[in-house]
Amino acid sequence: MSHPDRDGDPADPRSRSGEAASASGVHAGPGRVLLILSQEQVAALRAVLEGYRAYAFCQLLPTTERNERLRQTQRLLGWLHELAPPPGSQCWLSLLPDERGSLQHVLQVIREQPALRDRWRRELQVLAPLFGWEDGSS
C-alpha cells in the first residue's frame, strides 16, 4: 500500500490498527496483539506516554527517528483517548506489531533512565503486570 506519509494512511479503513473498544467484538487479527487494560492501566499508560512525549520534545533534537517515535506515541495516545468506558472493568487495545514495538521501546527508554523511571514509578508499577516486568518498576 502506498502512503502519502511515512506514518501510513491513518484514515484508511483497512488499517484500523489499534481500533479499540470495550467488551466484545474486538479481535486481535493477524499479527495483532490485544492488550487488556484496566482503567487504572489506561490512565497510567496515558500519563507515561504524554510524559515521554514532553520529554522528547524538550530533550531530543529533531531527527527522523525521534519524529517517527513521536508520531507513533501520538497515535497510541489517540487510541487510548478513544477507549470507551468499559462495561466491565477492562478495555481492549488492539495493536499492530510496529505499534506494540513502539510502545515497548518508549517504556524501555523510560525504565532505563533513572530520572524518568522515578517520575513515573507509580505508573510503571501499575503497568508491570501487563508487560511482565518482574520487579514492578524497573
Partner 1 sequence: MGFWHHLFRKRRRAQARAASSPVPAGTTAAAEAPAAPEQAGPVPLTQRRYLDDIPYLLPKDPLEDQRLNYQHHALARTLSNHYLAPLTPGIRTILDVGTGTGIWAFEMQALFPHACIVGVDVSLQSLPQPVPPTCVFVRANVLEGLPFPDAQFCYTHQRLLVAAIPSRSWPGVVRELVRVTRPGGWIELLELSDVIQPAGPATRRLLDWFTGISQQLGFEMAVLRQLGELLQQAGCVEVTSQDIPVPLGRWAGAAGQLLLTDVLHGLGALKDSYCARTTTPPAVVDAMLQEAAQEWEQQQARYVFHAAYGRRPQP
Residues that bind partner 1 (CB under 8 A): 4-5, 7, 9-13, 15-16, 50, 54, 57-58, 61-63, 66-68, 70-71, 74-75, 77-82
Sequence-separated (6 or more) residues with CB below 8 Å from residue 44: 120, 122, 123, 124, 126, 127
16 vs 136, beta carbon nearer partner 1: 16
Backbone φ, ψ for residue 85 (5° rounding):
-60, 130
The minimum distance between CB 38 and partner 1, in angstroms, equals 19
- Pick between residue 58 and residue 115 the one whose CB is nearest to partner 1: 58
- To partner 1, the closest distance from the beta carbon of 79 in angstroms equals 7
Residue corresponding to grid cell 508520531: 71
Residue 96 beta carbon to partner 1: minimum distance, rounded to whole angstroms: 13
Nearer to partner 1 by Cβ, of 41 and 79: the residue is 79
Picking from 105, 126, 101, 109, the residue whose alpha carbon sits closest to that of residue 47 is 126
79 vs 110 by CB, closer to partner 1: 79
Least spacing, CB of residue 10 vs partner 1, in Å: 5
How would DSSP label each residue in 81-116?
A: HHPPPPSSSEEEEEE-HHHHHHHHHHHHHHHHSHHH
